[in-house]
Amino acid sequence: MRDQTIIVSKPEISTSGFDSLGVPTHRAATIVFASTAEYENRSSRGHQGYSYGLYGTPTTRALEHRITLLENGVRTFLTPSGQASNALALLSLLEAGDRILICDNVYPAVRDFAERDLKRFGIRVDYYDPLRLDELEGKLDPTVKIVWCESPGSTTMEVADLPELARLAHAVGAIVGCDNTWATPLYFKPLDHGADIVTEALTKYFGGHSDVFMGSLTVKNEALIQPVRATLGRHGIGVSPDDASMVLRGMETMSVRICHSARVALDMARWLEGQPCVEAVLFPPLPSSPGHATWARDFSGASGVFSVVFKKGLAPHVGRALDTLGTFVIGASWGGTRSLVAPMKLGRDRSVTAWPHDDLVLRFSVGLEAEEELWADIERLALRLNGIAVAQPAQGHTP
Ligand SMILES: *Cc1c(COP(=O)(O)O)cnc(C)c1O
């Protein structure tokens, strides 16, 4: 072999005896075939076989396999973000003339996708109150192809009765999809509670370090594999094995990270609930949180993300108070090692439920910093807002 050929050829190195604990990172666009016949028959390798790097490498398959086991599904597909998983789930299964029913507390980008893209493709979009399944039942008919659920819902944390929702949806032949990002499959397995498809934003607790985007989509039945796989292929969507290896590594510590964050979050949520400036704390483990009984029945735990609503009139003061935080940082996303707080506005992101409070929900994600330093922030924030709440009693307590 000449030098120029040596430098571009894969060296034949034995891996015999090399048994490491980590999953190797396999990068590939091209997959090489041993013969012309094998190349021509590559489609017969099936959805688990290898034919082109975009459709999977041993690294991405390892991550998919782990998630399939956690979700009790038959096949998982990786996508470049949590939102991509949600969009692809819908795009794979809907066609013009179909209807979709979406929970009113859905991740805002899903609402946007439905309003701007699904409607453009002739799909009829409607919303339902995740806490009023009697109303959902009234909206169901055989043209409904998908009932989309996110439980607990983004920001406002309502927990839906997924088994009942699935029973109603399946009765008219609809498919049930569920975004399970808050609980992760460690604490809730939607496919065991009636869903046909579950999505996760791996960007959050799985990745766990606020530095990688990825999503997963797991199906319960073999019949759903082909439509999803084909849609991913036609849209040219796959993920980098380097990113997959970061998620494979991040998720190994996920159970201890979530467990710790949830414990600290629960203490804080309980304490905040008793503060004069606080109207409500939205966190499924709290008995006052919407859908708490359903959470207690179906979920085996909580994560470290909760939301706080302040007494009427305090919203304009929250921003300045946040700027005094020392350990919590302000930013979107969550589920990482750093504690985050984000002032969220529901704005036009509700269409069939009323929001009775000021349009400001403060979302907290508890990370892994020293607890006493996080508590110092929480206390400072509450004391400052309590001072304003007490100074403005008329605004603080108008019914
Ligand atoms: C963050 C989030 C997503 C989107 O995840 P990205 O990876 O940021 O696209 C989807 N659903 C829920 C519930 C989320 O919290």
Residue closest to 186 by CA, chosen among 296, 303, 334:
303
Name the stretches of the chain with pLDDT < 70: 392-399
DSSP, collapsed to helix, strand or coil, labels residue 294 as helix
H/E run at residue 116? none
Question: 27: which 2 tokens?
Answer: 């990068």
Length of the chain: 399
Q: Give the pLDDT score at 397.
A: 47
Instruction: For ligand 1, atom 15, name the residue with the nearest CA.
Output: 181
* Binding site membership of 83 for ligand 1 (Cβ less than 6 Å): yes
* Binding site membership of 82 for ligand 1 (Cβ less than 6 Å): yes
* Binding site membership of 68 for ligand 1 (Cβ less than 6 Å): no
Q: Give the pLDDT score at 25.
A: 97
The residue whose two tokens read 């997924």 is: 162
* Binding site membership of 179 for ligand 1 (Cβ less than 6 Å): yes
Distance in Å, CA 85 to ligand 1 centroid: 9
Read off the DSSP letter of residue 188: -
H/E run at residue 394? helix 393-397
* Binding site membership of 184 for ligand 1 (Cβ less than 6 Å): no
Distance in Å, CA 112 to ligand 1 centroid: 13
Q: Give the pLDDT score at 75.
A: 98
Q: Give the pLDDT score at 221.
A: 97
DSSP, collapsed to helix, strand or coil, labels residue 128 as strand
Read off the pLDDT of residues 210-255 as tens digits, 9 standing for 90 and up: 999 999 999 999 999 999 999 999 999 999 999 999 999 999 999 9
Distance in Å, CA 28 to ligand 1 centroid: 27
The residue whose two tokens read 């990745």 is: 207
Closest atom, ligand 1, to C-alpha of 213 = 7
Closest atom, ligand 1, to C-alpha of 181 = 13
Q: Give the pLDDT score at 389.
A: 74
Instruction: For ligand 1, atom 5, name the residue with the nearest CA.
Output: 82
Q: Give the pLDDT score at 399.
A: 43
pTM here?
A: 0.95
* Binding site membership of 215 for ligand 1 (Cβ less than 6 Å): yes
Closest atom, ligand 1, to C-alpha of 84 = 9
Q: Give the pLDDT score at 48.
A: 87
Distance in Å, CA 11 to ligand 1 centroid: 41
Distance in Å, CA 204 to ligand 1 centroid: 7
Count CB neighbours of 169 within 10 A: 28
Closest atom, ligand 1, to C-alpha of 333 = 1
Q: Give the pLDDT score at 396.
A: 46
Rounded to whole angstroms, how far apart are CA atoms 106 and 276?
30
Rounded to whole angstroms, how far apart are CA atoms 399 and 394?
10
* Binding site membership of 25 for ligand 1 (Cβ less than 6 Å): no
Rounded to whole angstroms, how far apart are CA atoms 148 and 151?
10
Angle at 348 between CA 172 and CA 125, to 5 degrees: 25
Distance in Å, CA 160 to ligand 1 centroid: 18
